[in-house]
Chains A and B, each alone.
Chain A
């Protein structure tokens, strides 16, 4: 790094190292990443080139180790600073906790209703069991994937939810139909399809309402005095 090599010849940087560094940058808060991640990656790329030319593999190894230690030291610091600044982490945690409690509440209410239906042989409630199975399974799998995608990428949350829930419900429906048709017995194809349609409509509606309230809130904040 001692050489003046800001204009080093364009030599291909080991793509794995750079990709790994891009991935590791996810450890920083989103606001920090948006502002500085491309520049940090650029600096890492410059250092990598310089070390490779001047010191070879040992230099590159030391650079990677140094960069990892730097990341471990500075990423928590940036998070702590964010925490003290605008309480965004606490707000997000509060929102996530409320959403989780809401989901648990819905699932518990549905199970109680279903057990009541089974005890009293209420056929309309028994039919609800198909929708409940789909709601719980697709809800857990789909929302987990949506959560991970939204947190780790810059994809549009509502569009991500739409396609993820569509795919997850579709795959689960397919699996249920394949297994159900082999088991036979009391398997009812129509009820299963309706169940997954209800599940998709329910979870996507929740995401739509969530996105709408969020965008309304942002408009209200930015439009304020």
Chain B
């Protein structure tokens, strides 16, 4: 198990939902609805996670040690304490980074094949 956790490459490629969740948690801890909102805003409504996809992915990421629950509330006065907040673990950060590098490699290949114009 320790070996599995130490190697982010074993979890690649991530599902789009998992990668979006990791991206949403990259800068701060969020609860389920905040994650959905962040993904929705960032992708301009192109990706919308349903509750089943969201919590199914969170369940798997908790089991794999990519995210963890946190008791900290960004703004306790403004929030419902029944909500569960999640944050990225170090391992989750490494997995997200490995996936981003993999995708960047694909983009580089697409550019070299003239499928994409250079930014």
Contact = CB atoms under 8 A, between A and B. Distances in A.
A28 B53 CA distance: 12
B32 A42 contact: yes
B56 A67 contact: no
A47 B33 contact: yes
Contacts of A39: 32, 51, 55, 83-84
Interface residues of B, number: 24
B59 to A, nearest CB: 7
Contact of A40 (B31, B55, B82, B83): B55
Contacts of A36: 55, 58-59
A47 B48 CA distance: 11
A43 B56 contact: no
Nearest to B33: A46
B59 A67 contact: no
B50 A69 contact: yes
A86 interface: no
A66 interface: yes
Given A7-B78, A35-B59, A42 B50 contact: no
B83 A42 contact: yes
A73 B52 contact: yes
Interface stretch (B37-45, B92-100, B101-109): B37-45
B36 interface: yes
A94 B40 CA distance: 44
A123 interface: no
For the complex of A and B, 5 pairs with smallest distance between CB atoms: A70-B50, A74-B52, A40-B51, A36-B55, A46-B33
Contacts of A69: 50
Interface residues of A, number: 29
A43 B36 contact: yes
B92 to A, nearest CB: 19
A75 B55 CA distance: 11
A47 B36 contact: yes
A35 B60 CA distance: 13
B61 interface: no
B111 interface: no
B40 A70 contact: no
A78 B48 CA distance: 20
A1 B36 contact: yes
